[in-house]
Amino acid sequence: MDNLPEEVQELMEALDEAAEDEDEDLVEELAQKLLDTGVDMKPVALEKLALLVMDGEEEMSVGWTRAALKFGLDPFEILLKGLAEGMGLIGKKYENGEAFVPQLLIASTAMYSGMEIIAPFMKQDENSCTKPATVVIGTVEGDVHDIGKSLVKTLLSANGFNCVDLGNDVPSTQFIEAAKENRATAVSMSTLMTTTMAEMPKVVKMLENEGLRDKVMVMVGGAPITTQYAAEIGADVSPHDAASAATWLKGAIFDFPSETERWG
């Protein structure tokens, strides 16, 4: 961003200050001035957002998310190429021993704050059913990570699904109870730890034992989860990422029996 015109850099610095002060009106005004310079601010905003999330700058992430919308960026692009990209950056630092749990938590707060801004702009599919299909989603027992799970939830919700978020460290029995209580269409489980992967086949086995396996689709995901592992434990799919999860389920639901057919 150092190669941007001086005028643009000065306006961006002013926008940083306005965002830190949580001055929404000034953020809007400065974003318009940046647009008026004629510079394509879309890639600049995405790069800026990623860096802000990585650094855990909550107020500035919110301000620049508002600016990104003003620049005409699609909310899904803001989410995936801006906010989530920032979490990817801090995640790599964590893996390399260059960042620690506190930095991850601060970065996730910045990401979630930005997600709250774009959530109202993420339109539901106009062809979705009158009554949205329900997905029970959570991170398996023993794992307290929820960033990836929350990203999947956001995209599923934006695509018209009703998500019942069980949170993290969810016991196997809670997935089963929630599926029955909510007449779920799908159960989505995630983990970032190899030590908790074994919780996933437990849930699948319990669904089978309860006679519920044919009533729900099962999605599993997370860093250590592969397509092969998903097949081995009897899950339906292990999407590559959050966007893939939403795309897959939107397609799969058309060939799946209706809620009434499944649950009576």
What Cα–Cα distance (Å) separates residue 15 from each residue in 2, 21, 26, 123? Answer: 16, 10, 8, 27
The full set of domain ranges for the chain reads 6-121, 134-263
- For the domain made up of 6-121, the CATH class stated in words is mainly alpha
Start-to-end C-alpha separation, the chain: 58
Along the 264 residues of the chain, how does pLDDT read in single tens digits? 779 999 999 999 999 999 999 999 999 999 999 999 999 999 999 999 999 999 999 999 999 999 999 999 999 899 889 998 888 788 778 768 898 878 877 888 898 899 899 988 875 444 444 468 999 999 999 998 888 888 888 778 767 788 999 999 999 999 999 999 999 999 999 999 999 999 999 999 999 999 999 999 999 999 999 999 999 999 999 998 887 898 899 899 989 999 999 998
* Strand stretches in the chain, DSSP E: 134-139, 162-165, 186-190, 217-221
Residue 142 has, within 13 A of its CA and on its CB side, a CA count of 11
Query: What fold is seen in the domain 134-263?
Result: Rossmann fold (3.40.50)
**Other CB atoms within 10 A of residue 164 CB:** 18
